[in-house]
Amino acid sequence: MRSLQIAGTGMLAQQTNVEVISNNIANMNTTGYKRRRAEFQDLIYETQRRVGSQSSENGTILPAGTQIGLGVKTAAIYRIAEQGSLNQTENRFDLAIRGNGFFQVQLPSGETAYTRDGTFGLSAEGQIVTAEGYLVLPGITIPAAAVDVTINVAGEVLAKLDGQINPQNVGQIQTAIFANEGGLEAIGDNLLLATPASGQAQLAAPGQPGHGQVLQGFLEASNVNVVSEITNLITAQRAYEMNSKVITASDEMLSTLSRMR
């Protein structure tokens, strides 16, 4: 009985759906997190009567065929790149991007990763680093004698030195954009890697065409809508229950057959 297997694929699909939703809810307070959405596709079909085939020697055509679907599969899990709300922190090294773009981070392996999480600080050498201590590219060092640091919307890092009137420009943060942000590979720690699907990073100063502006003293919150996620969770739960009822009904039908004399 195909319905057992078909309903089983439905339960597996809704299990994946619930896992995606639960990950969204778990990261509702994760800085720069972008919610995910599971998408599904129907599986292959078993054709018993092909639509459009001849049904007689006179050339009559079947207006509708007979195809039996074999269930559902997970097609993709998309990342929704909607802007999260910007929360003011007053921390001089907290940065948020208003608009498109990612900060660049150098991993210990030498690879370049990308993030929307602007929770930055200083290393012992005065370099701007992430919460994990990874260098924020292009690698900007704040002088030890700096009494204040300002980062403007164009990403320029201006250090105010004691005894000097004009601040010193010690570097400029560049942001990266991609032709297909959904093609980036998540590796945890709020970091993403470029893939052939995402295309190569296009670098420019914040505020340039296609690139968002940098805001100092702000962090971007997760774009998870809890009300929407709870609604989706209830819908997925109901769908899971309906598939389980199909399995129960199919099992009862098989039991009826086995009791026949």
Q: 104-160: per-residue pLDDT in tens?
A: 999 999 999 999 999 999 999 999 999 999 999 999 999 988 889 999 999 999 999
| 9 pLDDT higher than 80 | yes
Chain-wide mean pLDDT for the chain?
91
- Other CB atoms within a 10 A radius of the CB of residue 182 amount to 14
Are residues 213 and 123 part of one domain? Answer: yes
**Rounded to two decimals, what is the model's pTM?**
0.84
220/115 Cα distance (integer angstroms): 11
Provide the number of structural domains found in the chain: 2
Are residues 250 and 188 part of one domain? Answer: no
Are residues 110 and 50 part of one domain? Answer: no
Are residues 137 and 28 part of one domain? Answer: no
Residue among 82, 98, 102, 89 nearest 190 (CA): 102
Give the range of the structural domain holding residue 115, as residue numbers without chain letter: 86-220
| 182 pLDDT higher than 80 | yes
Q: Which helix (H) or strand (E) holds 114?
A: strand 112-115
- Average pLDDT (42-57) is 79
Token pair recorded at residue 84:
């999260």
What is the pLDDT at residue 191?
95
| 90 pLDDT higher than 90 | no
Are residues 182 and 58 part of one domain? Answer: no
Q: Tens of pLDDT along 167-181? A: 999 999 999 999 999
Say which residue the tokens 């292959």 belong to: 44
12/261 Cα distance (integer angstroms): 36
Are residues 191 and 125 part of one domain? Answer: yes
Q: How confident is the model at residue 261 (pLDDT cuts 50, 70, 90)?
A: low
What is the pLDDT at residue 228?
95
- Average pLDDT (83-112) is 94
Of the listed ranges 37-51, 86-100, 131-145, the least confidently predicted one is 37-51
Q: Tens of pLDDT along 188-240? A: 999 999 999 999 999 999 999 999 999 999 999 999 999 999 999 999 999 99
Are residues 128 and 95 part of one domain? Answer: yes
* Own/partner pairs, 14-23, CB within 8 angstroms, 24+ separation: 14/236, 14/237, 14/239, 14/240, 14/243, 15/240, 16/74, 17/232, 17/236, 17/239, 18/233, 18/236, 18/237, 18/240, 20/77, 21/229, 21/232, 21/233, 21/236, 22/233
State whether residue 229 is helix, strand or coil: helix
Are residues 150 and 238 part of one domain? Answer: no
- Average pLDDT (64-82) is 88
Are residues 28 and 12 part of one domain? Answer: yes
Token pair recorded at residue 104:
């660049």
Are residues 144 and 60 part of one domain? Answer: no
Are residues 228 and 216 part of one domain? Answer: no
Are residues 95 and 187 part of one domain? Answer: yes
